[in-house]
Amino acid sequence: MDRSSKGTAFLQWFAESPAEWNRLRLRNVLDEILAGNWGEDAGISEADRYCARIADFDWQHLKLLGGSLRTIRSYTYASASRFVLRDGDLLVEKSGGGEKHPVGRCVQYEGNEGPAFTNFAMRLRTNQLVLSDYLKFVLAASYYRGHSWKILSQTTGIQNLDVSAFRSTPIPLPSVNEQKQIVTYLDAKTAEIDGLVSKLEREAELLERYRRQLIARTVTRGLHPNTPMRDSGVEWIGEVPKAWRVIPLKALLRRKSSKNRPDLRVLSVERNQGVVDREAEGSADNHNRLPEDLSGYLVVSKGQFVMNKMKAWQGSYGVSFYDGIVSPAYYVFDLSTEVPEFFNWMIRSDAFIPFFGMNSFGIRTDQWDFKVSALRTIPLFMPSKHEQRKIAVFLDRKTVAIDSAIAGIKRQIELLSKYRKQVINDTVTGKIRVGEVA
């Protein structure tokens, strides 16, 4: 939604609902609105209990992921009683958010006496005028339309919902009986859409698994099924073609550490993509800030091998097909091979990632440090240059087809997600009259 139009958003919301429906402010349908409490570290106070964090909220399905709670906080008996969730409670994110996902999202808790909840959220309890199940969908539709942009304030690094303005949010309100019909309809309709999405996600997952298996099998067994084989000596690789020679990875690599080229583009190394242009292709999840002075970054030339040494165990390494610079926390190597495309397919395959996991160490699992001396112990099974080229071309062609199929599935999932939001919006604003479609 264009920010210039946000001032009229609530008026449009009012105008779209049927004339016979009531139009109340959110504060008129609530018995309570209460900010959460983070408590203290476990064992400090009188009562330890699970505490629901924002990360535990399932925004897609508008519910709290109660079965996945792992965070335990400590409360006094009085506060534990006050902040416990009960069946039907709504939780709204009041602090946090981001540019693409502002605060104001809502989920519902289902179950018996539940957890406490974070101070980044607030709990809503409804009165007799509105069903909690119905209000959940109304607040979801309001959020989808961008209403929360109108009632948030932005401080350094965090958004905060204007609670007073939020309490004044207009609510399209049919009779309680029609609310029940709407909830029944939306529960069924969203479950139907979710079922289709689940099947598509499973299809994409199977294709991605097939892609990984195809690559690992091809770079360790070649293209010809009747080739004479021998034992590789590596349990998870199994047999390899008898004619392929074995060399240590170290034999192909020579470490480099050129610097002082801040004019070059910044590259990143990712598990799924390998070496990428950070700005143009980098993952949206990469929140690491770049320093103002890039002179200490390592220079990378096209054809060199680059490794994120703290995430090598995940497969964050690969051949660079760009000139650029990378973090000084990476390793950069000259690569001595005539077919770098084959090497890249091979080394990034599921067949070789375990070697890097075996040789990474540290206190924190998510930042194990790769022991570079282990490059001498990692065996490579190398076919002839001619076969390397054929394998690289084969995998290029096959993966393009698989990736295209996966992209098509993800596009279907995206469209279904948009349709789900539209159905919720159209139903709670009366564009879809449940009595007419039931």
Structure tokens, 96: 């946090």
Same domain, 190 and 145: no
Residue 135 lies in a domain: yes
Q: What is the pLDDT of residue 3?
A: 42
What's 110's domain CATH number?
A: 3.90.220.20
Can you give the pLDDT at residue 4?
Answer: 41
Please say which residue of 173, 192, 212 terminates a domain: 173
3-state secondary structure of 309: coil
What is the rounded distance in angstroms from the CA atom of residue 260 to the CA atom of residue 299? 8
The tally of domains found in the chain comes to 3
The whole domain housing 358 covers: 245-284+294-382
Any residues with CB less than 8 A from the CB of 57 and at least 6 apart, and which?
Answer: 64, 65, 91, 93, 105, 107, 121
Rounded Cα distance, 348 and 144, in Å: 39
Nearest residue to 272 (alpha-carbon basis) of 228, 232, 302, 316: 316
Burial status of residue 137 (CB atoms within 10 A of its CB: 0-12, 13-18, 19 or more)? buried
Q: Is residue 131 part of a domain?
A: yes
Coil, helix or strand at residue 167 = helix
Residue 240 lies in a domain: no
Is 168 found in the same domain as 130? yes
Co-location of 256 and 327 in the same domain: yes
What pLDDT does 266 receive?
A: 92
List own/partner pairs for 395-404 with CB under 8 A and 24 or more apart. Answer: 395/214, 395/215, 395/218, 395/219, 395/345, 396/341, 398/214, 399/211, 399/214, 399/215, 402/207, 402/210, 402/211, 402/214, 403/211
- pLDDT tens digits, the chain, 438 residues: what are they? 344 444 445 556 667 788 899 989 999 999 999 999 999 999 999 999 999 999 899 999 999 877 778 899 999 999 888 999 999 999 999 988 777 788 899 999 998 878 999 999 999 999 999 999 999 999 999 999 888 888 888 766 788 898 998 998 888 999 999 999 999 999 999 999 999 999 999 999 999 999 999 999 999 999 998 999 999 999 999 999 999 999 999 999 999 999 999 999 999 998 888 999 987 776 555 556 788 889 999 999 999 999 999 899 999 999 999 999 999 989 999 999 999 999 999 999 999 999 999 988 877 666 688 899 999 999 999 999 999 999 999 999 999 999 999 999 999 999 999 999 999 999 999 998 886 554
Rg (CA), the chain: 28
Closest CA to 334 of 312, 306, 353: 306
77 and 46 Cβ atoms separated by less than 8 Å = yes
**Three-state DSSP state, 107:** strand
CB-side exposure of 69: number of CA atoms within 13 Å?
Answer: 20
